[in-house]
Amino acid sequence: MYHEELKSFPEGFLWGASTSAYQVEGAWNEDGKGPSVIDMAKYPEGTSDFKVASDHYHRYKEDVALFAEMGLKAYRFSVAWTRIFPQGTGEINQKGIAFYDSLINELLEHNIEPIVTIYHFDLPYALQQKGGWLNRETIDAYVNYAKTLFTYFGNKVKYWLTINEQNMMILHGSNIGVFDKNIQNQRKELFQQNHNMFVAQAKVIKMCHEMCPNAKIGPAPNISSIYPASCKPEDVLAANNFSSIRNWLYLDIPVFGRYNSVAWSYMEEKSYTPTVQDDDMEIIASGKPDFIAFNYYRTTTVTKNEYDNYLADSRDEQPLDTAESGVYTVSSNPHLEKTQFNWEIDPVGFRVTLRELNERYNLPLLVTENGLGALDRLEDGDVINDDYRIEYLRKHIEQARLAITDGVQLIGYCPWSAIDLVSTHEGFSKHYGFIYVNRDESDLKDLRRIKKKSFYWYKKTIASNGEIF
C-alpha cells in the first residue's frame, strides 16, 4: 500500500537509543562487580574484550548530557546482574545499586525516560558454574534479582524489559559468548534452559505488575520476518517453520501462555522437548506482557532443507546462518544490499515485521534495537561522516511511519546504539553509535566522545517528531 497521507508519530513517542551494560560500561571488576559469563568467554583473536569498553561506568554523566543534547526522550540500557549480586544471588552489592540509582536520576533530571533491560546476556558466572539456566535455582536467582531492581528503582522506572534476545541466546549462544560450544550442541538441554527462562520471565512479569502498578514490562526478543527464497511451496513451508522456531516460540509463550505448536512439534521430532513441571504452564500464563519490545536488524530468507542430519552454525555470517535437517536452511537474499559486515539491509522488511507482530499479538510495540554496524573513520577536525548510518536509519524510520499508518501501535524507537561500544562478537571497530568513542581494539587512546554526523541528524529527526529527514 502506498499511502498518500502518512500518520504522524504519536504524541509522547519514545525516540530513544540503546546500549547494554557489558558492551558500554567497562569497570568489569570494579566496586564489587562479580564476573559474568561474558567476562569469562573467549572472543575471536584481535577483537576487544569487555574490560574497559566505552568506560561509560566512569563517564555516564558526560554521556547522559550528550544524550540530552541529542534530544533523546528515552534511553534503553541494561543492568549488570553481577553489579547487584556479584555471585548472582546472596548479599546485595550497594555500590551497584548506587551506580544505577545515580544513572537513572541523571536521566530523569534530563527528562530522558529510562527503559531498563533486566538481563542482557551477562548471566553471573557463579550461576553458570552451577548449571546456569539448566538449574532451576537460576529461576529463583533471577526473580530475586528482579525483585531487588523493582524495590530500589520501581518508583522511577516505567518501562522494564525482562530478557534481551532469548531467541538469539538459544539459537546462537556460543557466538555471543553466553554458552560454550558444548552446551550449544546439547540441543535438548538448550531447550530446557529456554523453558526455564520462560518460567522465570513470567514470574518477573507478574511480580512487576504487583510491585510496580504504574510500570509496564515486556520481553525483548530479536524478531524478523522470514522470507521463502522462492514461491516453491516447500520453501514457503520452510519459512513458516523457521518463523515459528525463531520468532513465534518466544512471543506465543508470554502473550498466549502456550507453546507455539509448530515449534513444539519440531522439538518433539528432534527430541529437544523440555521437561515441563506441573505448574509451569500456569505460571507462564499468569505473566502477560504490557507491550512487545523487539530488536530488528534484517530479515532472514530460507529454503527447504535438502540435507540429512545437517546442522550448521557458522561464525562467519550473522545473525543466524543455521540449517536443520528437514526444517529450513538459511540462504541469502539477492534483492538486498549488505553492510560492510555482511548483514542484509531491509527497511521494507521492518514494516512487514511490524505488521506481522501487530496482527499476531495486537499489543503496543517498542523497537529496542535497529542500526548499522560500520567501520567509521575519524577525519581531521574530529568529524565522522557516517552518511551510510543516516541512510539506514532514515529508511527504517520511514517504514516505521508507514507501519503506523497501516495501524501498527508503535510506541517507541531506540536504535542501536546510543554511543559506540563493543560489538557482541566483532570488536570495537564495528561502530554503531551516534557518538564516536576514540579508541580501537587494543589501544584505549583517550576514549573521548565525538558527535558524529548522525548525531546532528537524529537530533533534528527527534525535534521534528520524525517529520524532517
User: Residue 192 and residue 371: Cα distance in Å, rounded?
Assistant: 32
From the CB of 316, what's the least distance to ligand BGP, in Å?
13
Q: Answer yes or no whether residue 168 interacts with ligand BGP by CB under 6 A.
A: yes
Among 54, 241, 424, 454, the residue binding ligand BGP under the rule CB under 6 A is 424
Q: Which is nearer to ligand BGP, 54 or 164 (CB)?
A: 164
Residues 353-372 that bind ligand BGP (CB under 6 A): 369
From the CB of 295, what's the least distance to ligand BGP, in Å?
6
From the CB of 426, what's the least distance to ligand BGP, in Å?
6
Residues 282-311 that bind ligand BGP (CB under 6 A): 295
Residue 366's φ and ψ, nearest 5 degrees, are -130, 120
From the CB of 121, what's the least distance to ligand BGP, in Å?
7
Among 89, 162, 164, 193, the residue binding ligand BGP under the rule CB under 6 A is 164
Q: Which is nearer to ligand BGP, 23 or 36 (CB)?
A: 23
For residue 309, how many C-alpha atoms fall within 13 Å in the half-sphere facing its CB?
A: 0
From the CB of 373, what's the least distance to ligand BGP, in Å?
5
Phi-psi region of 468 (alpha: psi -120 to 50; beta: other; left: phi over 0): beta
Q: Answer yes or no whether residue 177 interacts with ligand BGP by CB under 6 A.
A: no
Q: Which is nearer to ligand BGP, 358 or 423 (CB)?
A: 423
- For ligand BGP, which stretch binds (CB under 6 A), given 3-11, 202-210, 387-395, 416-424? 416-424
Q: Answer yes or no whether residue 427 interacts with ligand BGP by CB under 6 A.
A: no
Among 165, 252, 376, 420, the residue binding ligand BGP under the rule CB under 6 A is 165
Among 17, 20, 66, 97, the residue binding ligand BGP under the rule CB under 6 A is 20
Q: Answer yes or no whether residue 425 interacts with ligand BGP by CB under 6 A.
A: yes
C-beta nearest to ligand BGP: residue: 423
From the CB of 371, what's the least distance to ligand BGP, in Å?
7
The catalytic residues are: 369
Residues 216-245 that bind ligand BGP (CB under 6 A): 222
Binding site for ligand BGP (CB under 6 A): 20, 23, 164-165, 168, 222, 295, 318, 369, 373, 416, 423-426, 430
